[in-house]
Structures are given as C-alpha cells and as structure tokens.
Chains A and B, each alone.
Chain A
C-alpha cells in the first residue's frame, strides 16, 4: 500500500520535475536514484549552484525494486545508491561503470577500517561507500532496567509477546548464526540448521517478525525489546529518554549503502563531481546530521556540532569494525536461507 503511494508520488515528482526542467534554460541534469529522506537537500542545492546544474531525485524503497526497474529497461540515472550486496550483483551483471579515481580525489577520506574489515569492494572499483548503518536492539529501560548485551535477550520469557525481530530472512537468521559464532554469510547447512533452532526458540517469545511497526511500537510501549535498523531506532531514541539501545556482544549486521554510476548514465562526468562533493568531510558531516546515519569519513567528525560527536548513529562504533559483519549476496545459496526462513515461519 505505502509502496504504491510512494511510487505514484515518485512518478508524479519525476513528471513535474521533468516538466519544470523542460521549461527552464537547458542546464545539465543529474538524475539521482536513492532511498527517500536520505540526502540533505540543502547540500543538493549547494551542489546545483556550484556546478550550475539541476539534480532530479527519484526514490525507491527496496533494492530489489530498484534492480527490477533497471533490469526492465529503466535508464537515465547518473548516480544510484544501492546497498553493497546489491552493488556487487549490479557489478557482476556489468551494469556499473568502473570508477576512475583521478576524478574522485576525495576518496582519500574514506575510512580504511571500513574498507579493510567490512567492505565487499575493498578497492572501491565500482562503488563508493555512502552511509553505514547497523542492526541493533532498542529496549525500554524504564521497564526492564539495564539488560545484558546479548541476542539471548529474546529468550527471556518474562517479555513474551512484547518483543519483535526483523521480518527479514538474512537479518534474523543472521542473528541466530552470529549467536552461535558462525558467519552470517555461511553456506553450511548444519550451521544454518543450528541458527534455525535458535530463532525458533526466540520465536516463542516474539510478538511478531516486523519491519513496519516496531518503531512506533517501542516508542508507545507496545514492545519492550525490538531488533531494528540503527538510523530508524536512533530517530526514536533521540526523542525518548525512557528507551535505550544495546549492541549484542556476539556481533551485529552492518549495512552500507554505496554510490555507484550505472553504465547507462547520461552524464557520468557530473556523476563523478556529485560523488566527490558528498565525500568532502564538511558536506558529509551535514549529511550525517540530516540522515542520522554514519558516513564512513572519519574527518567529518570535527565538523559535527560538539554534542553529536559521540552520537552512536553518526559515529560508527569502533568495536563494530571487528564485531560487525556485512551481508553478502550468496547467489544460488540464497535458496538455503529461504528454505530455513520458510521453516521458521511455518513452525508452530
């Protein structure tokens, strides 16, 4: 439902902006395809002024939808912001431009700790990391007090019916894998079986598997413990002093959204300038403040206001470079995860 509405609005927005652009003097246009509310529009205006161009933003709400649209012949985008597993798929499908780093001088600011420990594309051959987020657990501190830092929180029967885990097969099976000390990208069926048993144990105490209502639910007191995405959760946590968050010691999933230039881009030169502009530490800091996510640019920290320099959403927790894992696409082995997920869903 919401997606349909979003689509219509997006289509309308594109149509209107195309119309407006059609009327004005013909400036070069950069077409950006990204998640909604994921870029500071004042920065976009600044970029438009600096390079005397027009930026048209189109949005998607899932990687798969974006990918399907491009595969179905959607073109004309100059910069796209997919999650890194999807950047890899797109690169494997020869849909992306190989990046020319002489046009991206600001890439020197990108965090080496991210590139060495987590990144899929360690040499930034086809993508530049844009924002980092992670999965963590928010809980009601007022009701539960401090809780130990572990995924085991979902085994606590006292909170039965008041906890949620994500309705996402990679994230939730991943939690089970991490809890058992396995890689979240394992292809080993025995390990997956163990993770399944773990998630089934947790399932008994969950209200639901959910991606939609957990944010409102933890804020209103409906849920006491929720697994969620850091950016989402920190938006709520910043407003609610009775809530707190916890990063399980067994590790969490990291997600990185990248900036890529599709091979079909009409204006790759402008796309390079755009990506370079957003890697400028000053701009990255403004963008972090706007999105509540962490740009992997350590230099940006000093441009953040004093009180935000320890914000756990914008400053990526140091420990996660080692304890975090990044979801990778597993090709045909995805089916193993789907099978386990179906079994988890159907089991009573």
Chain B
C-alpha cells in the first residue's frame, strides 16, 4: 500500500514534466503528419484548392512508373551516401577515440566548426570548388585524369559528394561516442589470441560500436532520402530526387494532395524499416530502459 502511494506520488510530477514535450510532439509532429496522410486521400482542383470528397486516385497516381524511377534513384543515392559516410567516419572515429583525452575534443571541434557556416553557403562553396574552369577540374584535366567533356558539377557525382560532405559530421559524432566507450584492450587481447589486425577490427571493434553505427545510418539515411536543396543546386538534368518532386507539386503545380501522397510514401518508406528494426531489437531497447531505471534507483 505504502509503495503504491509512493509510486503514484512519483507518477504525477513525472507526467507533468513530460507533458509539454508530448504536447509539442503531438501538435507539431503527429498532427501535421496525420494531416499530410489525410490530404493524400483528396484530389486537387484546377485552381489549386483541395477537393471536399475522398479519393484513392491520388495514391494510385503516385505509384506510377516515373515516380518509381525517381524513388529508386532517391533510394540508391541515399544508400551510396550512407555507405560512403560510414566508410569515412568509422576510421576517423576510431582514430580520434584513441588520441589522448586532452586532444580528442579539439579534433571533434574541427569536425563541428564547418557546421557553423550556413548550409547553403557551404553548398555554394562546393559550386566554386567544382567549377568547370576552377582549380580542381583544370588540374585534373592537366593530369589527364578526366576526359575533356567531363564536368565535376551538375551530375549525380556532385550530388553524392556534397551530400556526403554535409552528412559526415553527423555520422562521425555517434560513432565516436560509441568508440570512446569501447575498451581498446579488447583489440590487444584479440591480437594476442592470434587474430590479424583486420580480423580484430572487423570481429571485435565493429560489433563493439554497433549502436553508434546504427545511429549514424539513421541520421544519414533519413535526411538523404528527403534531400532537396543539394540536388537542386549541384544536380544535373537527371538529378531530380523525390524531395524535388514534392517541392514542385506543392508549389508551382498547385497540387497539394499529390505532394502529400509523395511525402506520405517517403515517410512510410523511412518509418517502416526503422520500426521493424526497433521491434526486432526490443530487448535492446528494454535493456537500455532498465539500465536507465536502475541508474535512477541507485541515485536514490
């Protein structure tokens, strides 16, 4: 009885303190998302309004072939970007985590500082770097590395390069956070037991920082799927991604239902694998929660 009272005593302040954040999420995230899903079941009239009646035609329309091509392009670009980010960020995080503690945060700072410059300005800086008469292309032409008719800008290569560049810090940070907690003595132990350097890295280090890697995948893949400004600014004639289609439908085409249907499709594609993953790793989540609880208990 006493413990029950104690529990409900604790519940109320907890509820009150978390209510604002739930309310925030409800009003600014859940409600708008639901509206987007609802509008996807409407159709547009020619003056740009939204019809009163419900229909499935908008949904079936966005499943047509040309959207699937754009969707497929968006997925492979995002997958390539995510893979490149991991490939670059794991060695960086591995290296920083092994530096003396007093230097580590300086290296991290070096990674974060570029983020202080506006996103668009950094994209325009890339346009200058990759300029057809800029230093880089002229040098590559002179060295004979690229043919005369190859450009570094306005193609998928540029979109992938710039997206990797903008996402990289967000991949390095969680992997570093995981690597910092990793016990590097385990690698030595593996080597002592006869594992090769590569084997130790692959079989001990990578599983050890799994959570960091998974977080990095999420924070890179999701924004890459919704990317819109980068393909618009550095992409070429065939550089349109799903984000650009949504923007076009919502603005110049005055077709909000179709934009909503595309946006809904995008969020389903992103949410379903994430949810599936979270359900599969329920145990992992429960573990984290219980660890937090026990930590809370111990402070009491």
Which of A's residues lie within 8 Å of B, judged by CB?
A: 1-2, 62, 64-65, 67-68, 71, 89, 92-93, 160-162, 168-169, 203, 206-209, 212-213, 216, 220-222, 331-332, 334, 338, 342-343, 345-346, 348
CB <8 Å contact, B48 and A222: no
Residues of A within 8 A of B151 (CB): 161, 207
User: Most chain-B Cβ atoms within 10 A of its Cβ — which of A64, A65, A92, A203?
Assistant: A64
Stretch at the interface among B15-23, B84-92, B108-116, B249-257: B249-257
Q: Which residue from A161, A169, A338 sits with its C-beta under 8 Å from B154? A: A161
Docked complex Cα distance between A202 and B14 (Å): 64
* Nearest residue, chain A, Cβ from B236: A208
Q: A92-B47, A169-B252 are in contact. List 17 more A-B contacts (CB 8 A).
A: A64-B252, A68-B254, A161-B132, A161-B149, A168-B252, A203-B237, A207-B153, A207-B236, A208-B154, A208-B236, A208-B237, A208-B239, A209-B237, A220-B128, A222-B132, A222-B133, A345-B66
Determine if B105 is an interface residue (Cβ-Cβ < 8 Å). no
CB <8 Å contact, B48 and A68: yes
Docked complex Cα distance between A213 and B153 (Å): 12
Residues of B within 8 A of A332 (CB): 46
Determine if B187 is an interface residue (Cβ-Cβ < 8 Å). no
In chain B, residues 222-253, which have Cβ atoms closer than 8 Å to a Cβ of chain A? 229, 232-233, 235-240, 251-253
Given the contacts A338-B253, A343-B66, A71 and B48 also touching, CB distance less than 8 Å: yes
Residues of B within 8 A of A348 (CB): 238
Given the contacts A68-B48, A208-B237, A1 and B253 also touching, CB distance less than 8 Å: no
* B contacts with A: majority SS: loop
- 8 closest Cβ contacts across the A-B interface? A207-B154, A331-B46, A346-B66, A208-B154, A332-B46, A161-B151, A208-B236, A1-B229
CB <8 Å contact, B47 and A89: yes
Determine if B206 is an interface residue (Cβ-Cβ < 8 Å). no
Q: List 23 A-B contacts (CB under 8 A).
A: A1-B119, A62-B251, A64-B48, A64-B254, A67-B48, A89-B48, A160-B149, A168-B252, A169-B253, A206-B237, A207-B151, A208-B235, A208-B239, A216-B127, A221-B133, A222-B131, A222-B133, A338-B253, A342-B66, A343-B66, A345-B66, A345-B238, A345-B240
Residues of A within 8 A of B252 (CB): 62, 64, 168-169
Least Cβ distance of A168 to chain B in Å?
Answer: 7
Q: Which residue from A207, A208, A334, A346 sits with its C-beta under 8 Å from B46? A: A334
Determine if B120 is an interface residue (Cβ-Cβ < 8 Å). yes
Docked complex Cα distance between A331 and B254 (Å): 11
Q: Which residue from B46, B69, B132, B233 sits with its C-beta under 8 Å from A213? A: B233
* Nearest residue, chain B, Cβ from A157: B149
* Nearest residue, chain B, Cβ from A205: B237
* Nearest residue, chain A, Cβ from B73: A346
Least Cβ distance of A230 to chain B in Å?
Answer: 20
Docked complex Cα distance between A201 and B229 (Å): 27
Least Cβ distance of A242 to chain B in Å?
Answer: 13
Least Cβ distance of B151 to chain A in Å?
Answer: 5
Least Cβ distance of B262 to chain A in Å?
Answer: 12
In chain B, residues 43-78, which have Cβ atoms closer than 8 Å to a Cβ of chain A? 46-49, 66, 69-70
Docked complex Cα distance between A222 and B133 (Å): 7
Residues of A within 8 A of B124 (CB): 216
Docked complex Cα distance between A272 and B252 (Å): 30
